[in-house]
Amino acid sequence: MTFNPELCRNESEVESKLIVHYLLPKLGYSPDTWHQEVKFGKIRLDFLAFTQKLPFTANPRSSVGLVIEAKSPRRNLDKHVSQLRNYLTSLNLAYGLLTNGKELRIYYQFADTIQLIFRCTGKDIEDRLPDIIKIIGRDFIKERLQSPQLLPQVTAKPIVAKSHRMSSMKTIAIYHNKGGVGKTTVSTNLAAALSKKGYRVLLIDIDAQANSTFATGLVKFQFEEEDDLRDRNICDLISTAEKNFVHEIVRTSQYFNNPEIDVIPAHINLIDKQSDLTTAMASRTRLLNKLKHVNNSYDVVIIDTPPSRDIYAEVALITADYLIIPSDLKPFANQGLPTVKNFIKDINENRTTFGREPIELLGVLASKISTNARFIQYTFPKQRDVIGKRYEMPLMESVIYDRTALSESFNKTIVVGEVEYPDPKSIFKYADEVNSTAQTSAMEFEILAEEVLTKIGLK
């Protein structure tokens, strides 16, 4: 049996055509392992499925259960996430599926946190069914009961660069005017996640602190005379229109990821060149123009920006099609959001002058978030609500938690002879080669990559 999302025109059809007649049988749930319209006190669930056969004592805590909530195709799923989270928390259930036929999401409750671990469009449900089965299939959940501490592994769908994507390169800026909110961590590991999925990625570092350049393993020197970045970096790309094109400046990250990614490095000499570039209006569009020459070479370009409103931030936001604002959601970061909004407004005026559409804000990304259980339960939901209610900005569904593995992967070193050199890794390579406990952070970036790909139209 196949599934066609076009046949789901209302909530009732989502329930019958997608869930009852397609998903539940494909996932291995027979009619005696699931119920519809289940009530627990004031809670009413659309569907509740279990790994064991019914009937049994009606206590959701007696088994790993799967909650399925169906919505009308006209409903925005973002508005129903909190409801599903409440169901999982109140009933102490592990898995939740939320769908409106046009989109499908899977949530998982682990160590007092509820995370989005899978999402796809309705038209991709059939292609992604093997992945869905490995997460919430009845047999897979039964096996996982033997090791309940393990997170379900999301198998990335291999994606080969195809000719139909060669003219649709997407450029994303990662920006906030406050430092320390995880811009570089997001930039580098999002680039790594997309590369891991088979997309052709270019990472551009346009910050004089050169954190992304360092993080991708391009700073392999200990002494100034060994510095091979000074005369070949992002500054050369935007200083002149006649020379120094992307193919002349680009480097390949060094032992950072598998596969490696292409990087336009930064350098501290950006500080010295800033005043000259600021007075030259043409410098603001040179990166945009030069990227047009590699439109067929990359699927996604990610720009790591400085925490400022300088010329380099202007260049990044004029060049980018999309914007992600990482934030730890703490007061100082939040207080900077009105300034960010004003900066975006000014940038959009300049973009109009250059014939550019307004930049599209994908959302504020909660990053560097504490994993403390009480914080997540009581404080974090309030912090999330503030973004929409007070600052009127969209909040991304993905969350990047502040885990030790992220800093460890960034600060890894290697000793050659008597000299210690930086040897940073992406969270994926660090998890595979060094520390398997980093898999949780790796999964968070896989989820972020899925959300980004969906929002920019590459899924």
Distance, in Å, from the CA atom of 171 to the CA atom of 315, rounded to the nearest integer, reads 12
Whether the pLDDT of residue 64 is over 70: the answer is no
Whether the pLDDT of residue 258 is over 80: the answer is yes
pLDDT per residue as tens digits for the range 267-287? 998 998 898 898 888 889 999
Whether the pLDDT of residue 34 is over 80: the answer is yes
Residue 58's pLDDT band (cuts 50, 70, 90): very low
Distance, in Å, from the CA atom of 391 to the CA atom of 344, rounded to the nearest integer, reads 14
Q: By three-state DSSP, how is residue 366 classified?
A: strand
What is the rounded average pLDDT of the residues 258-274? 92
Place of tokens 């400022």: 308
Pairing between β-strand 43-50 and β-strand 251-252 as defined by DSSP bridges: unpaired
DSSP string, 183-208: HHHHHHHHHHHHHHTT--EEEEE--T
Instruction: Write down the pLDDT at residue 112.
Output: 63
- Virtual torsion, Cα 243, 249, 250, 252, nearest 10 deg: 150
- Virtual torsion, Cα 237, 242, 246, 249, nearest 10 deg: -60
pLDDT per residue as tens digits for the range 156-202? 343 333 333 434 899 999 999 999 999 999 999 999 999 999 999 99
Domain ranges for the chain:
5-144, 167-455
- The whole-chain average pLDDT of the chain stands at 86
pLDDT per residue as tens digits for the range 290-331? 999 999 889 999 999 999 999 999 999 999 999 999 999 999
pTM for the full predicted model: 0.71
What is the rounded average pLDDT of the residues 358-373? 95
What is the rounded average pLDDT of the residues 423-442? 88
Token duo for residue 160: 């080969």
Sort 97 into a burial class: Cβ within 10 Å, 0-12 / 13-18 / 19+: buried
To the question of domain 167-455 being in CATH 3.40.50.300, the answer is yes
Domain at 5-144: CATH code: 3.90.1570.30
Whether the pLDDT of residue 231 is over 90: the answer is no
